Amino acid sequence: MSNLPNCPQCNSAYTYEDGDFLICPECAYEWTMHQVAENDDLIVKDANGNLLADGNSVSVIKDLKVKGSSTPLKQGTKVKNIRLVAGDHNIDCKIDGFGSMKLKSEFVKKLS
Ligand SMILES: [Zn+2]
C-alpha cells in the first residue's frame, strides 16, 4: 500500500506515482513531491528548543568527532553565520581550523 498524498486539487485518494510526478487519475492534475517540500519553511531548533535562523551564531555543546579530522570539534566552539539546510545534519557552516562542515542542530545552542 502506498503513502501517497491525496490530490491537492480534488482530494482524490487514487493518486499514483510516475517518475518524479504524482498524478491524479480523476482530475488529471500533476505535481511533484519536491514542489510541496520546497514550500515548507525549514524549522531547525537548537538543543534547548530555540528556533535557529540563517546568520545566527551558535556554540557547540559537546565534543564532536569530525569526519576526516583527528581533532574533535570542542565543546564551546563558537560557530558564526550558520546556514540552515534540509537533512539530518541541518546546519551548514564554516569553522576556523575545520573549514566548511555540517552540524546537527541538536548539538548546538544559540548565542544571543
Ligand atoms: Zn485530482
84 Cβ contact list (under 8 Å, min separation 6): 42, 44, 52, 53, 54, 90, 91, 92
pTM for the model stands at 0.62
Distance in Å, CA 86 to ligand 1 centroid: 29
Distance in Å, CA 21 to ligand 1 centroid: 13
Residue 40: pLDDT band by 50, 70, 90 thresholds? low
Instruction: Give tens-digit pLDDT for 7-25.
Output: 999 999 999 999 889 999 9
